[in-house]
Structure 1
Amino acid sequence: MLEKYKYTEKVSKTVLRSRRKSGELPPLPKLADLNPSLQPDLSVVFIGYNPSIRSSSAQHHYAHPTNLFWKLFNESQILRVATDGKYAHPCSAQDDWGLVKYGIGFTDLVLRPTQNASQLTKQEIKENVPRLCAELKEYRPMVACFVGKGIWEHVLKNIGQVQALKEFRWGRQEIQLEGCDVFVIPSTSGLVSLSYQEKLKWWLQLRDYLSGVRSARLQERDCSNVMVNRQFSSAGEDVPKMKEIAASDIERLVDLLDELYEKKSAGERVIVAVCGSPGSGKTSVTNIIIDRFNSRHGRPIGLVVPQDGFHYSMKELMGMDDPQLMVARRGAEFTFDAQKLVELVRRIKAHPSEMIYAPSFDHKLKDPVNDAIKISPEKKVILVEGNYVCLEKEPWNVISKLVDTRWMVAANLDQIRERIIKRHLEAGISSTREEAEARTDHNDMVNGEYIRNNSCDVDLIIRND
């Protein structure tokens, strides 16, 4: 694993020579504070240092033309994520107050405008930290996004979390603030000498993280609705319900495979896509199902083909535009060769009489191994198993059209998290529980939210709690 970038925000300063006599200060106009734009249950609140003079004059957040905030906001499609795809129109500073109805709010560490943040006093910064914390406590946004490392550092110092300063990394922070998840991105000021692409990288990670958080909240709401529906159903209401089978009921699951197998014409294959979040146990479940299926038929006519073999190799990742990001997020859907997997599934379906080879993944080498899995003509039932095999996103969505049925393995989120932490520790990926928890929360759980939010409708839920 490569060491992550630890950027520092270097501010370039232009020295202006003044004709004013020494000690003579220009008269300062009365500048209006820029008030927060907040309401309860927002998806994200962006927290700046303090308003610029331009923002104060315009009474809009991030109004200076050299500030990259709105360009990054639009390119990362934060509005689309916050509205679950309902809205995706470009926004500018003039739209800031209207975005609150879409779940996007704004506030600052200090509300007093200045030409630059260095003109703020230590005392007023200290006095404003409790005000900011009170806002977050009252409105409870899902994510508090600090637009600049320095802002978060001031908060940490004033709430007594000095240790967190030493362990700082961009992105999702280990600690919450007043019950809100904290995400830190580089300042969008035009004075900060960080490239646009480097800034955009963290905005894209914010987008993905926000998508995952919203998905989890929606899932909690859906679970509540399911409980209500079950109450109605027990009272005599006819409520449609997704078919569910416990993972422990192997015989019923094998019966389903048998039904599909018996309906096929001679020479045709049954292909099942089995998806699920990391830690759901889909690999174990699919292998148990196939072992029992083969045992029932007295010969090995079933086979599991894992998606894991379609990881991009470390060499391939290192040759990509942002190798640090690709390595850090290895396991996310964009770190797999989806097109190659689609081509394999298409070939399995179209050429049942051919010997076909598929790659596997060597967990010791941490790389795929080509042609390690033999798919012989005698293999009549194929379970294509992996996190993303039921995604709606292209080209993954082609798999759903090629297979006979789609299954999802699901489990309680707390149980999933503990399984992944244990896996990282046992595999030596993480040396301490703290490291394992950080890796799990920043990568695996985010990927899981993405899967639950972006997979197509499945035909069966396998409960593996």
Structure 2
Amino acid sequence: MPIIINTIEEALKRLRSLNENNNQRIIIGIVGKPGAGKSTLTSYLLENLVKEKAVLVPMDGYHLSNKLLEEYEKADRKGAYDTFDARGYSELIKRIKSDSDSDIYFPIFHREIEESIVAEGVVLKECKVVLTEGNYLLLDNHGWQDVKSFFTESWYIQIDDDLRRERLMARSIRYGRSPEIAYKWTHGSDEVNAKVVETTMNNADVILAL
């Protein structure tokens, strides 16, 4: 059964304890439905982990390009589990776990342009704590199945769905979608993806009931 944590302060305390009691690089996989607050949590953790030499590696950098999504006729499903380079992401996390002798570069996704920029992020060789967040880190098929084995721990964020959808709507509008399109995306594609993510909750080591 997953451990239950109720505050972000408890999450920080747990992460620091893991780091203090482990000589290896710590990798925490943070999972949640779209709009669950993954970015908010990771921002809080990073702000308080300066001396631990922490870095964030988002799964979103492995979005397939808009060009490929158009070619594969998946543009209207962008964000679904099969619209990412799952194997590429898995290999990145595997290398982060096993290679502490080299700086490791990774792509970062930008919502304002809806594309990723290659090698924009870096895990420095001296980095001790790596946070990685995304929707499908606990999925056990479609190329995602090996990812969990590379984590020190996996955390799943569980929050009220109405609040989550409100956040998604606001985020979509902030990045230029009309309220009508934002509503359609939030209650359409994003909701389908959310149901997939929900099926993976019991695969987590820790549930953050925030």
Give the corresponding residue for 1:431: 178
Q: Equivalent residue of 2:141, what SS?
A: coil
**Corresponding residue for 2:5?**
245
Q: Which residue of 2 aligns with 1:461?
A: 207
1:398 CA drift (Å)? 0.6
Decide whether aligned partners of structure 1 residues 377 and 270 sit closer, same or farther in structure 2, where only a CA change above 3 A counts: same
User: What is residue 303 of structure 1 aligned with on the other side?
Assistant: 55
Q: CA deviation at 1:425?
A: 1.2
CA contact (8 A) 1:312 1:337 kept: yes
Measured on the aligned residues, the alpha-carbon RMSD in Å equals: 1.6
Q: Where do 1:379-458 residues align within 5 Å?
A: 379-428=127-176, 430-432=177-179, 434-455=180-201, 457-458=203-204
The residue identity in structure 1 corresponding to 2:158 is A
Contact 1:275/1:388 (8 A) holds in 2: yes
Distance 2:42 2:115 in 1: 22
Give the deviation of 1:242 after TM superposition.
Answer: 4.2
Aligned AA (1:385):
E
| Residue 454 of structure 1, CA deviation | 3.7
Deviations 1:301-321 (A, max 9, x none): 11111011000011222232x
1:87-107 superposed Cα distances (whole Å, 9 cap, x missing partner) = xxxxxxxxxxxxxxxxxxxxx
Cα pair 2:2 2:207 within 8 Å, conserved: yes
Q: 1:341 aligns with which of 70, 78, 89?
A: 89
Structure-2 residue corresponding to 1:368: 116
What are the superposed Cα offsets for residues 178-199 of structure 1, whole Å, 9 maximum, x if unpaired?
Answer: xxxxxxxxxxxxxxxxxxxxxx
Tell me the CA shift for residue 343 of structure 1: 0.5
Please state whether the residue corresponding to 1:254 is helix, strand or coil.
helix
Q: Size of the alignment, in residue pairs?
A: 210
Q: Does 1:259 align with 2:54?
A: no
Quote the Cα distance in structure 2 between the aligned partners of 1:394 and 1:421: 28
Match of 2:80 among 308, 332, 350: 332
- List aligned pairs for 1:147-162, cutoff 5 A: none
CA distance, structure 2, for counterparts of residue 393 and residue 444 of structure 1: 19
In 2, Cα distance between the equivalents of 1:302 and 1:289? Answer: 9
User: Deviation per CA, 1:108-160, whole angstroms, max 9, x where unpaired?
Assistant: xxxxxxxxxxxxxxxxxxxxxxxxxxxxxxxxxxxxxxxxxxxxxxxxxxxxx
Residues 127-206 of structure 1: pairs in structure 2 closer than 5 A = none
Which one has a bigger Cα radius of gyration?
1
1:292 aligns with 2:39: no
Would you say the 8 A contact 2:165–2:186 is kept in 1?
yes
Equivalent residue for 1:313? 65
Distance in 2 separating the partners of 1:365 and 1:394 = 27
* Highest RCO, 1 vs 2 (Cα 8 Å, sep ≥ 6): 2
Superposed displacement of residue 408, structure 1? 0.6
3-state SS of paired residue (1:397): coil
Cα distance in structure 1, aligned partners of 2:204 and 2:120: 29
Structure 1: gaps of 5 or more residues: 1-240
Identical residues among aligned pairs (%)? 30
Say if 2:173 and 2:182, in contact at 8 Å, map to a contact too. Answer: yes
Q: State whether residues 390 and 456 of structure 1, in contact with CA within 8 Å, keep that contact through their aligned partners in structure 2.
A: no
Q: TM-score, normalised by structure 1?
A: 0.44
Gaps of 5+ in 2: none
Separation (CA, whole Å) in 1 of partners of 2:81 and 2:202: 15
CA distance in 1, matches of 2:121, 2:205: 27
TM-score, normalised to structure 2's length? 0.94
Q: Would the aligned equivalents of 2:2 and 2:202 in 1 still touch at CA under 8 Å? A: no
**Cα distance change of structure 1 residues 461 and 416 upon mapping to structure 2, 3 Å threshold:** same
**Counterpart residue identity of residue 276, structure 1:** G
Q: Does the aligned pair in 2 maintain the 1:360–1:373 contact within 8 Å?
A: yes
